[in-house]
Amino acid sequence: MRVTVDYDLCDSTGVCNSFAPEVFELDDEDLLHVRVPEPGAELWPAVEEAARACPKLAILLPGDRP
């Protein structure tokens, strides 16, 4: 399953990084990168928590709008 970030919405606050640092990271310029676009099942609970916690609702998971 693929995780996608809508960069038009994302403001790189890094909330997602605090929930799933294996998947989301901020680079040296504080821009968000998805390190693991297709995380394994063991990471999905954290990814789903990150998506729910994202203040911009910028994290798109399978079944979300395109």
Q: Looking at beta carbons only, is 17 or 41 nearer to ligand SF4?
A: 17
By CB under 6 A, what part of segment 7-46 binds ligand SF4? 10-16, 24, 32
The CB-of-42 to ligand SF4 minimum distance in angstroms stands at 20
Residue 32 three-state SS? strand
CA dihedral angle for residue 19, residue 25, residue 28, residue 31, rounded to 10 degrees: -90
According to the binding rule CB under 6 A, does residue 64 interact with ligand SF4?
no
The CB-of-34 to ligand SF4 minimum distance in angstroms stands at 9
Q: Measured between alpha carbons, how far is 26 from 21 in angstroms, rounded to an integer?
A: 9
